[in-house]
A and B are shown apart, each in its own frame.
Chain A
Amino acid sequence: MANNPSRRKAIFAVAIAAVAGVLVFLAVGGIGENLVYYWSPTELVAAGDEAYGATVRLGGLVEAGSVVRGDDGLDLAFSVTDGTERVSVRAHAVPPAMFREGIGVLVEGRLAPDGVFETKRLMVKHDNQYQPPEAMDQRTMKDLVETMQFEADDT
């Protein structure tokens, strides 16, 4: 049965074909269009009225000078930007230690009727740079926006 060589080769061929097929499908099948882990501020603004009320993830850079911390250490206001659009965020969450101006963040929540994005889940998205404390970061705003991969799904 299974030890019959020709049958074994047939199983082998089917398995290889299945693997190759799935990989090709994933590579060219455009699955990325349906698999968006977070929206950019531009996409959220472009969605207009449809953006209100739905629970989504929004990603962007914390805009310099926009961070306002509440007295209780839990309330936090800032805006996220992708260089084109900005969205104000009201967070009720303990920010991770890496949270600071200019860093990438993802917030899970919804756009409130007043146009402010409300979230209770704030995540820091750091990039692939690992540098010692004395290293200077000479990257431009554009470089930093690129680390948010907004172009990755736009095709």
Chain B
Amino acid sequence: MGILLLLVGSYMGLFVAPPERHMGEVQRIMYVHVPTAWVGLLCATLAMVFAVAYLWTSNSKWDDRLVGALEVSFLLGGLLLVQGMLWGRVTWGIWWTWDVRLTTSLIMFLLFAGILALRAFVEEPLRRATWSSVATIVAYVDVPLVYFCVKWFRSLHQVQSSPETVHSSMVVPLRVNSFAMLFIAIWLIAWRARVESKSRGEERPPTRRQVEGEGNV
């Protein structure tokens, strides 16, 4: 479903929507860059919610979902930086600069990389879950900054667009691709959570609740 939407949205973005008046054809990268950013920030928010839920309930299913959200955020964050550099090289004339938007986005990517590395180093599942939940909540400070920094500070990166500043023929493919990316991200997170929950079962003896749960199936 998500992949189908992505195909439709990208087709519209590449062939139906007009080129930008000053930027030309390269502006079409917007149809993946902006959805990547939106969905990436959303997955980071989901990770924070799962981290809170884990610390609150101590239920390992939240840790499973946290892994998924962390990994998808890391992936989208990396893609976002690469797309941004390509677009920036053509329109701004440079690959990289220490502008607030670029810097906070890089920090977000590195923080998620750090949390995933932390997980890899902690063997004991309960401690791993607690530590990575706390780390996720602390790292989340950067996420609103990524979004709002262009409004608060001068930056090379332009501020958010809105339907008033984007022509309607460009808004539709942007929305289609955003929903597509969102569906794919949620599907990946759910899938990763299932894998994590299965591997958890092999890691240590099942808890009483899990045994009873399987009995009901």
Residues of A within 8 A of B (CB): 1-3, 5, 8-9, 11-12, 15-16, 18-19, 22-23, 26, 32, 35-38, 59, 93-100, 103, 106, 121-135, 137, 147-150, 152-153
CA distance A35 to B175 in the complex (A): 34
Q: Please give, as numbers and ranges, the residues of chain B lying within 8 Å of A37 by CB-CB distance.
A: 99-100, 153-156
The answer on a CB contact under 8 Å between A124 and B91 is yes
Surface stretch bound by A, among B17-25, B70-78, B113-121, B185-193:
B17-25
For the A-B complex, the count of residue pairs with Cβ-Cβ distances under 8 Å equals 137
The answer on a CB contact under 8 Å between A152 and B94 is no
Which residues of chain B in 149-174 are interfacial with respect to chain A, using CB atoms and an 8 Å cutoff? 151-156, 158-162, 165-167, 169-170
CA distance A150 to B19 in the complex (A): 29
Asked if B11 CB lies within 8 Å of chain A CBs, one says no
Between A and B, 5 residue pairs with Cβ closer than 8 Å are A32-B152, A125-B92, A132-B18, A137-B21, A152-B154
* Contact status of A152 and B153, CB under 8 A, knowing A15-B137, A132-B18: yes
The answer on a CB contact under 8 Å between B137 and A16 is yes
Q: Please give, as numbers and ranges, the residues of chain B lying within 8 Å of A147 by CB-CB distance.
A: 158
Q: Which 7 A-B pairs have the closest CB atoms?
A: A96-B93, A132-B18, A128-B161, A12-B55, A133-B21, A2-B130, A15-B137
CA distance A9 to B130 in the complex (A): 11
The answer on a CB contact under 8 Å between A128 and B21 is no
The answer on a CB contact under 8 Å between A130 and B130 is no
Given contacts A37-B100, A149-B159, 14 further A-B contacts (CB under 8 A): A8-B130, A12-B55, A12-B56, A16-B52, A32-B152, A94-B93, A123-B97, A126-B91, A127-B159, A129-B166, A130-B165, A131-B21, A149-B154, A153-B153
